[in-house]
Structure 1
Amino acid sequence: MKKLGFLSFGHWSDAPHSQVRSAADALLQSIELAVEAEKIGLDGAYFRVHHFARQLASPFPLLAAVGARTSRIEIGTAVIDMRYENPLYMAEDAGAADLIASGRLQLGISRGSPEQVVDGFRHFGYHPAEGESDAEMGRRHAKVLLEVLRGEGFAEPNPTPMFPNPPGLLRLEPFSPGLRARIWWGAGSNATAVWAAQQGMHLQSSTLKNDESGKPFHVQQAEQIRLYRQAWKDAGHAHSPRVSVSRSIFPILTEQDRRYFAQDAHSQDQRGYLDANTRAIFGRSYAGEPDVLARALAADEAIAEADTLLLTIPNQLGVAYNLHVLQAVLSHVAPLLGWR
């Protein structure tokens, strides 16, 4: 058995064939898709966060809305860029969203990827300390978030408060028990996957990672996952680790599917540079008839290593079509692979 969820970037545009033409469309359709995905038996609804772009950006109102409209499905992010975040304010927002969802929040965070603007986090008021890189700042913010999510008091109470205080140091409220154990780290390298394990965070690995060996993407990603699991074991954490990978998977069942995705049947890994010093490898997409897809996916070593698979969706094609894609994976591909 494998947990299956969708991952939406929440794009919107006024392109002629887009079904998502505004920010309101993107948000409301995200909620609607999560509700319908729960009905068909999907396990998770996840959303990507990008700033300065026509995509989903402020996750907590959306997560709270999805949590209020659903009862079973996991809700999460993949990922929130911690370079942009005030970790204490974020802990309050995350606690509220998790309580609304009755403890179903799976919060994916990371140091982030190249964004739409130069050093966008500076516009949010965040600056790396002297001698610190922006990636190190993101990890520093993450460690503060993890600490305050433990729920222990750290702030000295006012001796003359407006409202009575409980005894001792104060923690942030609202506090959601268990959320600290449901934080995930989006790792782009082997080293950051090991770091995430040491911090007691679950691992999210997408279709992009640093090219550290020249091997095929799924092989490198599987090696990253194994390093993560060993580091988790070495750290001796009390709870069990989870690992997700994301893939674009499109069963071809109709002529409409064929028009949209037949070209992806020949997709291959790609390599490029995220910046002047970082060579990256981008994983392939999967498309084809269900039996062909099942054979290809069975050979993906990283999917085999992961317990959770996030299906990256073309959200601009609208709720109905994306629900069709998700149902097709659940009904026609997952059973062939023993995921259902």
Structure 2
Amino acid sequence: MPAPSEPLEKLGFLTIGSFDEADPGGGHETTLRMIELGEELGFDSAWVRHRHLQFGISSPVAVLAAASQRTRRIELGTAVIPLGWENPLRLAEDLATVDVLSGGRLNPGVSVGPPMHFDDVREALYPDTADREDFGHERVTRLLRLVAGEPASRFSGTRGIEVFSDRVQPHSPGLRGRMWYGAASLGSARRAGEHAMNFLTSSVVRAEDGAGTDFAAIQRSHIDAFRAAHPAGAAARVSQGLVVVPTDTATPEQRAKYEAYAAARLPRTRAPQGPARMLFSPDLVGPSERIAEQLYAHAGFLAVREVVFALPFSFAQEDYVQILTDIATRLAPVLGRRPVSSRRC
């Protein structure tokens, strides 16, 4: 194993939070228990995906509000909230509320662009304004201003017996510094830096003209462009999120399942997919030592000190327990990450 030049500083995981339509409460409870387990295992952060009109978490802020009351230390993130579905003012209120409830542990990740399958949902989502909605970066700029406490109203003061503020309440002063942007393109990575946000880069990037088809090289170029545009430069925070499945304590049946899952998804990693030329990273499955070797050979991983490893979509709870436990107890030490108890809080 090559010795890491710098240890991994923050270890997180990401879950889709899937559920059975006939028993949605059970699936949400499982997600909350996984977050509790993550805290027990010493993970620094737990992140949830956002899935509208699917059988996954449609309201991550509400789920993380619940998680904030069942945990004490672990940071809670969204990866990511698509702002095309949101009113930035109302979202800013929800984010600030959960941040206050959590004691300043919320890490909201967002993205911009039209809602997925917009033609199918436009009448329900924006019946009167669909053709006038701006789904570009102004939407995230507006959210950032509101989270930072800039005026949302022209009035503040007392009317009758009610007192009004001109900014979002509650105001959580540290939240603006914990806003993340999930980007898959070079331009979006640059804009995240220009907005002085943190950068989430995942297992999918866009293979734009002239970029080639080497996933790790493209991801590294995005990280470099983000930091070049960010006021903090090389100190700007970046988190990498690959699908990582260690098998150290897995049963033979689990190993076979994991390997079959990765093999079925491998063809999509060999060439860009669709008109947007999306390029996917192979899933990393195997013993922790081998996964660590693959990570230390990955140009994107070498540029970060934070990771949010993504859990596969369709496994059973016992599989996720094994995977999270192996990440925390087998893989993390090989990556040079010190246990939480030995680090300064």
Length-normalised TM-score, structure 1 = 0.86
Superposition deviation, residue 119 in structure 1: 5.5
Deviations 1:250-283 (CA, angstroms, capped at 9, x unpaired)? 1123313312212367646243444x4x111011
Query: Residue 324 in 1 paired to residue 329 in 2?
Result: no
Per-residue CA deviation, residues 3-54 of structure 1 (Å, 9 max, x unaligned), is 111111122347xxxxxx6321221111111011101101111011121111
Which blocks of at least 5 consecutive residues in structure 2 are unaligned?
1-7, 339-345
Q: Which amino acid aligns with 1:84?
A: W
Q: Deviations over 1:98-145 (max 9, x none)?
A: 001000000000015873563635532285666xxx7x6242221111
The residue that corresponds to 1:98 in the other structure is: 99
2:218 corresponds to: 220
Specify the alignment match of 2:10 in structure 1.
Answer: 3
1:334 aligns with 2:335: no
2:253 is aligned to 256
- Cα contact 2:19–2:28 (8 A) shared by 1: no
Match of 1:170 among 142, 166, 170: 166
Match of 1:12 in 2: 19
Q: Flag the 1:227–1:48 CA change in 2: closer, same or farther, 3 A.
A: same
Q: Which moved more, 1:217-226 or 1:138-147?
A: 138-147
Q: Distance in 1 between matches of 2:122 and 2:180?
A: 21
Give the aligned CA root-mean-square deviation in angstroms.
2.6
Taking the TM superposition and a 5 Å limit, the aligned residue runs for 1:1-340 are 1-13=8-20, 22-111=23-112, 115=116, 118=119, 120=121, 123-125=124-126, 127=129, 137-157=135-155, 161-165=159-163, 170-212=166-208, 213-232=211-230, 236-237=231-232, 240-253=235-248, 254-263=251-260, 267=266, 269-274=269-274, 276=275, 278-314=276-312, 316-340=314-338
Q: 1:160 to 1:99 in 2, by over 3 A?
A: closer
CA distance 1:158–1:222, shift in 2 (3 Å): closer
What is the count of residue pairs matched by the alignment?
Answer: 323
| C-alpha separation in 2, matches of 1:325 and 1:305 | 24
**Residue deviations 1:208-237 (CA, integer Å, cap 9, x gap):** 1111222311111011101111111xxx35
Q: What is the one-letter code of the residue matched to 1:60?
A: V
CA distance in 2, matches of 1:98, 1:104: 6
Q: Which residue of 1 aligns with 2:4?
A: none
| Structure 1 position 170, deviation (Å) | 1.4
**Structure 2-normalised TM-score?**
0.85
Cα separation, 2, equivalents of 1:211 and 1:66: 36
Tell me: CA distance 1:230–1:164, structure 2 relative to 1, closer, same or farther (3 Å): same
The answer to whether the 8 Å contact 2:227/2:233 transfers is no
| Residue identity matched to 1:5 | G
Structure 1 residues 238 and 311, CA gap change in structure 2 (3 angstroms): closer
Is the deviation greater in 34-43 or in 106-115? 106-115
Work out whether residues 75 and 105 of structure 1, in 8 Å CA contact, stay in contact via their aligned partners in 2.
yes
- Structure 2: how far apart are the matches of 1:152 and 1:329? 41
Q: Residues 238 and 223 of structure 1: is their aligned pair in 2 closer, same or farther, counting only changes over 3 Å?
A: closer
Q: Is the 8 A contact 1:53 1:116 kept in 2?
A: no
AA at the equivalent of 1:308: E
Paired letter, 1:86: N
Assess, with a 3 A threshold, how the Cα gap between structure 1 residues 96 and 160 changes in structure 2: closer, same or farther. closer
Percent of paired sites with the same residue: 28
CA–CA separation in structure 1 for the residues paired with 2:98 and 2:203: 27
The answer to whether the Cα contact below 8 Å between 1:79 and 1:110 also exists between their aligned partners in 2 is: yes
Following TM superposition, the consecutive aligned residue runs of length 4 or more in structure 1 with deviations greater than 6 angstroms are none
Distance (whole Å) between structure 2 residues aligned to residue 339 and residue 145 of structure 1? 34
